[in-house]
């Protein structure tokens, strides 16, 4: 059951790529004088701020514990820093290269697990990791002869390293009694507060924070990101990931680009018509079929004939 919910979280995250792309097209055309760095910071502030507001009516009566606040703060720090590094790195490298390098956490996590347990990874884990690496390279269209290590690639690898600690934070035993929904609510609030001064600093004038949101397409897309890709996805992650190991979770999360590759075959044209900009659908390719199949095979391998997961811990009463 935890695996099903984590895969569902990846499906929600997969929606974020075409939505963010459409949002960038709309805002860039409407506000051509604004920098990409400002838009990136503003989006994190707005997306997670709206997510926090959406959850508030349902969670106001649940008083957070100190442990939940601490865990949420760490998740906000790692998640916010990772997304910022990833967004900055994308300005200096191809999106396909970024997508491939971001999956580096599926290699880092088994290494950390080996250091913690002082045991070598199992053949199953090694094979699944290899399948994910090859599948991610095929899916992203990355060739070894075209992969260079510039500042964009280094920033993306740093983001993958930071995301590793976000995943590990949910595995910490002292946080097992925390309520996933409460942690998600606090995490969204912390991320929004973290990016508010950054967006304000990058804005040409304070009124730009309001101008960036001043259209129905932008408001609706931010709402979709907040509800589906923030509230739904992170609630599933923060609630169910503690039921699996960090290594297994890292491999499950590599299904996200597979969902993205499927969504961009039909969503871009519809989103483009909504924002009034040209945004073409992508087509089904052999790379998508091959790379996606390898990633899915890795996750099936990890789940094949495994013992059942322990029951959920400390649900919200």
Per-residue pLDDT tens digits for 164-174: 888 888 888 88
Helix (H) / strand (E) containing 117: helix 105-117
Average pLDDT over residues 62-81: 91
Q: Is residue 131 packed enough to be buried (19+ CB in 10 Å), middle (13-18) or exposed (0-12)?
A: buried
Q: What is the pLDDT of residue 144?
A: 62
Joined together, the tokens standing for residue 289 give 């079929």
Q: Which residue has the higher pLDDT, 9 or 2?
A: 9
Most confident stretch, 106-110, 174-178, 268-272: 268-272
pLDDT class of 312 with cuts at 50, 70, 90: very low
Q: Which residues contact 152 (CB under 8 A, 6 or more apart)?
A: 89, 90, 91, 92, 93, 97, 98
pLDDT, tens digit (0-9, with 9 covering 90-100), for 50-68: 999 999 998 878 889 999 9
Joined together, the tokens standing for residue 1 give 């059951």
pLDDT class of 314 with cuts at 50, 70, 90: very low
Buried residues in 104-115 as b, exposed as e (16+ CB within 10 A)? bbbebbbebbee
Joined together, the tokens standing for residue 94 give 């191809």
Average pLDDT over residues 132-147: 68
Eight-state DSSP code of residue 207? T
Q: What percent of the chain has pLDDT over 70?
A: 87
Nearest to 136 by CA among 108, 86, 96, 167: 96
Q: Which residues contact 266 (CB under 8 A, 6 or more apart)?
A: 281
Eight-state DSSP code of residue 34? S
Q: What percent of the chain has pLDDT over 90?
A: 35
Eight-state DSSP code of residue 103? T
C-alpha distances out from residue 131 to 240, 254, 279, Å: 24, 11, 32
Instruction: Please provide the average confidence, as pLDDT, over all residues in the chain.
Output: 83
Q: Is the pLDDT of residue 5 over 90?
A: yes
pLDDT, tens digit (0-9, with 9 covering 90-100), for 269-308: 999 999 998 888 877 777 778 877 887 788 777 766 555 5
Calpha distance 109→188 (Å, rounded): 25
Q: What is the pLDDT of residue 147?
A: 56
Q: Is the pLDDT of residue 86 over 80?
A: no
Q: Is the pLDDT of residue 136 over 50?
A: yes
**Residue pair 133/56 in contact by the 8 Å Cβ criterion:** no
C-alpha distances out from residue 176 to 116, 171, 311, Å: 18, 8, 12
pLDDT, tens digit (0-9, with 9 covering 90-100), for 206-262: 999 999 999 999 999 999 999 999 999 999 999 999 888 887 888 888 888 788 878
């Amino acid at each position: 059951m935890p695996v099903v919910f984590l895969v569902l979280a990846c499906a929600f995250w997969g929606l974020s790529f075409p939505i963010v792309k459409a949002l960038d097209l709309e805002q860039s055309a409407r506000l051509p004088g604004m920098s990409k760095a400002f838009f990136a910071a503003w989006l994190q502030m707005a997306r997670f701020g709206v997510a926090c507001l959406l959850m508030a009516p349902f969670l106001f009566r649940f008083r957070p514990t100190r442990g939940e606040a601490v865990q949420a703060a760490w998740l906000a720090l790692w998640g916010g820093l990772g997304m910022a590094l990833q967004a900055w790195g994308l300005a200096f490298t191809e999106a396909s290269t970024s997508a491939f390098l971001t999956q580096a956490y599926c290699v880092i996590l088994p290494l950390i697990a080996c250091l913690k347990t002082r045991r070598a990874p199992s053949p199953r884990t090694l094979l699944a990791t290899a399948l994910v690496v090859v599948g991610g390279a095929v899916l992203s269209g990355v060739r070894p002869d075209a992969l260079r290590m510039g500042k964009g690639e280094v920033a993306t690898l740093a983001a993958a390293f930071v995301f590793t600690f976000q995943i590990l934070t949910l595995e910490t035993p002292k946080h097992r009694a925390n309520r996933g929904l409460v942690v998600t609510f606090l995490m969204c609030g912390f991320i929004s507060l973290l990016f508010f001064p950054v967006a304000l600093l990058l804005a040409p004038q304070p009124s730009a924070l309001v101008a960036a949101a001043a259209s129905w397409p932008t408001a609706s897309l931010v709402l979709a990101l907040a509800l589906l890709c923030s509230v739904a996805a992170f609630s599933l992650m923060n609630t169910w990931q503690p039921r699996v190991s960090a290594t297994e979770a890292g491999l499950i999360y590599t299904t996200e680009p597979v969902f993205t590759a499927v969504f961009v075959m039909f969503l871009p044209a519809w989103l483009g018509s909504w924002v009034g900009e040209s945004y073409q659908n992508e087509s089904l390719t052999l790379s998508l079929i091959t790379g996606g199949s390898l990633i899915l095979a890795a996750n099936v391998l990890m789940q094949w004939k495994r013992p059942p997961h322990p029951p959920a811990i400390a649900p919200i009463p």
